[in-house]
Structure 1
């Protein structure tokens, strides 16, 4: 499969000297990336996005000036193989073997690519992930934190005690999830599919499922890279269709990075959510924001900040709403087989109108904070176990909607074999 080999190739690029003989003169004395360095990184980016045709052109230009760079020779061979150019790929594989004496791991990668035949009739490269999960959530129904609730104002105020069905209910659950990514061509077009199903031990009215399909394409326009995505999804609740989703997304980033480790992008998202059984809650959400990724030697830190506006139907309580979303995520390889993740996100919404005139005489204000931590341990190639904890704190000025939730789950994952 493609991803393990791209990873091996990326490792060659990041730390080539212990693996293959290299030309050490590609950096300036001050360590500033040269034009050649930037060209090579751009070629690796094209490979990771499935744009093999672009990658071949850039790698050939790179090798013309850096003929002793073994990693680039191997990347060029892999790209030619993925384009179905078997004869050229074989010539390049032989060059790598004869000129650079690669270690056993690289020879094994070459052998597996050769086994595909590099034929255009061979299946396109794909990546997939399957996960089986057992977990427990102390509030599967998002039950209200406060059992008391009041409606009306002044002398018309009436206090109620919520029915137990509206209070938090804890339960265990089993979940299956799968994702699939397939490169449709060598020019940056790919198909993405995701699906999951969750079944609870007792609270079956909270059983959920979803399926989503998307097409994604990447364009290079002068000094900019544009990635566009169109997606369609369906969500079920207790076995019935609960929500239909349509989404268009664009992400624009400069091809020349301000720093080699830093990726910056602007994002725009237009999504539509329809509720067949609750049409008054249908809405269209517009999101505009920015994304920053910082890549360390063995870690990735991502920051997202987005402005939100949700256009609703006239009859939805509170009408339209505006807000923002921010998140900070960190991923790091702390040991040979251990990867840790941590995340913090916050979402703020404020409605434009009174929520329910005569009953709840305020504009709804919602603040939701989510904390997440996970540890992934590789049992063997393509198989890992993941322990994940997630906590949600939902604070609102309408007590009926306030809730806390904590979930712990253990998953067994399989990928790309």
Structure 2
């Protein structure tokens, strides 16, 4: 009887222990869920504080972190889209709204709000005045665009078999000071129309004959069509080398971007654009020409931080007069990848190539039946570190290689610069 009583007591103790353990485990799980919810609510509250203080970029960062922690918070995504819209980042706003529509069951009232922001409220990026200024220092391996090969060979039967170039015609490096100012001003009486202006300078330490100044004036227009967007831009540029005008051109670009499409955690869109560039050279009108480029484009935002942009298509260059080599045709391509490191800055890499082929021999007397094939390849890497909302530091390295079937026109340039930028 006593033995049975002891067994009963042991059984009772085990049952009580098991019940206590289960209760503690349930309480721990409940406390863990409550803790996560408290953290999420705190992120939401911090984002609201930053929004009220006008710190929209910080608010977006907090809301994105909230959605990453709890994907059910669709309202936070809507807040992100609205903040992007208020910052003038129309593309990012539309992409976020499209992701919200595709990934969540949206109530009718919210669906109407999304439609309102897509069609009426979220104005194009040029809807507020913008101004930026920068100054920096740098160095280049080839300030005068000179060739690295001092010898030029001619075709059999030419008056000369070869020629040695003067030292001044070869590549010479130099250091420089660079500066730029650019602004955008929306026209209130003309919706979606923005005036553009910019001035960029590069002053060399010693090779002042190759100092550069570029002045740009123009107008841009953007309008939504369905869920897509049509952009138009008309620019006039003047380039000075030293104290003389080297080139003037008028550039018109028209493009269409389709609606963004969500694929997994990525948003992408496709488009097409046409560029016409009429360039003339006051010092040598023989090279005046009209260039046309028809390109297809692909733009994607991968995850939360990476954006890629790709353009490719045929190109034509038609001379206004009897330019040696005649008309040119070929292709152009560019690839840009941008990585946002939030408060640690932004990294952007650009690769470009344009290849044009002459339709006629360049100079039969000196170069025989050679038709010029010129390929311009360029690459750059730019890092921007934000000091605050208005000020940032930048560093840029770039290289450009011009490869021509006539070596006289081939050269390579490598440059690097660093400076500070202010934006309004």
What TM-score do the two structures reach when normalised by structure 2? 0.72
Structure 2 partner of 1:412: 420
Match of 2:375 among 345, 363, 367: 367
SS in 2 for 1:336: helix
**How has the CA–CA distance of structure 1 residues 192 and 44 changed in structure 2, closer, same or farther, with 3 Å as cutoff?**
same
Structure 2 partner of 1:95: none
**Is 2:325 the partner of 1:285?**
no
Structure 1 partner of 2:180: 177
Q: How far apart in 1 are the matches of 2:287 and 2:182?
A: 29
**How has the CA–CA distance of structure 1 residues 63 and 275 changed in structure 2, closer, same or farther, with 3 Å as cutoff?**
farther
Structure 1 partner of 2:317: 310
Matches within 5 A, 1:134-153: 134-153=137-156
**Is 2:402 the partner of 1:398?**
no
Q: How far apart in 1 are the matches of 2:128 and 2:243?
A: 34
Q: Which has the larger radius of gyration?
A: 2
Q: How far apart in 2 are the matches of 1:137 and 1:64?
A: 59
Deviations 1:337-356 (A, max 9, x none): 22212222111111111101
Deviations 1:167-226 (A, max 9, x none): 001111111101112222484222221111111111111011011112111223345421
Q: How far apart in 1 are the matches of 2:345 and 2:161?
A: 55
Structure 1 partner of 2:280: 274
Q: Does the aligned pair in 2 maintain the 1:246–1:272 contact within 8 Å?
A: yes
More displaced stretch, 388-397 vs 7-16: 7-16
Deviations 1:297-345 (A, max 9, x none): 1121111113110110332111111111111111112352222122221
**Is 2:401 the partner of 1:357?**
no
Deviation at 1:257, TM superposition (A): 3.1
Structure 2 partner of 1:159: 162
Structure 2: unaligned runs, 5 residues or longer: 1-53, 99-105
SS in 2 for 1:263: strand
**How has the CA–CA distance of structure 1 residues 135 and 166 changed in structure 2, closer, same or farther, with 3 Å as cutoff?**
same
Match of 1:326 among 323, 333, 352: 333
Q: Does the aligned pair in 2 maintain the 1:371–1:391 contact within 8 Å?
A: yes
SS in 2 for 1:141: coil
Q: How far apart in 2 are the matches of 1:414 and 1:163?
A: 43
Matches within 5 A, 1:56-67: 65-66=109-110
Deviation at 1:7, TM superposition (A): 4.5
**How has the CA–CA distance of structure 1 residues 250 and 234 changed in structure 2, closer, same or farther, with 3 Å as cutoff?**
same
**Is 2:136 the partner of 1:133?**
yes
Q: How far apart in 2 are the matches of 1:252 and 1:288?
A: 12
**Is 2:308 the partner of 1:301?**
yes
Deviation at 1:10, TM superposition (A): 5.5
Q: Does the aligned pair in 1 maintain the 2:56–2:83 contact within 8 Å?
A: no
SS in 1 for 2:209: helix
Q: Does the aligned pair in 1 maintain the 2:133–2:182 contact within 8 Å?
A: yes
Structure 2 partner of 1:239: 243
Cα RMSD (Å): 3.8
Q: How far apart in 1 are the matches of 2:90 and 2:74?
A: 29
Deviations 1:103-141 (A, max 9, x none): xxxxxxxxxxxxxxxxxxxxx731221110101001111
Aligned residues: 350
**How has the CA–CA distance of structure 1 residues 6 and 232 changed in structure 2, closer, same or farther, with 3 Å as cutoff?**
farther
**How has the CA–CA distance of structure 1 residues 174 and 366 changed in structure 2, closer, same or farther, with 3 Å as cutoff?**
same
SS in 2 for 1:242: strand
Deviation at 1:43, TM superposition (A): 11
Structure 1 partner of 2:41: none
Structure 2 partner of 1:254: 258
What TM-score do the two structures reach when normalised by structure 1? 0.74
**How has the CA–CA distance of structure 1 residues 22 and 147 changed in structure 2, closer, same or farther, with 3 Å as cutoff?**
closer
Q: How far apart in 1 are the matches of 2:235 and 2:218?
A: 4
Q: How far apart in 2 are the matches of 1:273 and 1:42?
A: 42
Q: How far apart in 2 are the matches of 1:277 and 1:373?
A: 34
**How has the CA–CA distance of structure 1 residues 143 and 22 changed in structure 2, closer, same or farther, with 3 Å as cutoff?**
closer
Structure 1 partner of 2:389: 381
**How has the CA–CA distance of structure 1 residues 68 and 190 changed in structure 2, closer, same or farther, with 3 Å as cutoff?**
closer
More displaced stretch, 202-211 vs 185-194: 185-194
Structure 2 partner of 1:99: none
Between structures 1 and 2, the one with greater helix share: 2
Q: How far apart in 2 are the matches of 1:326 and 1:67?
A: 39
SS in 2 for 1:145: coil
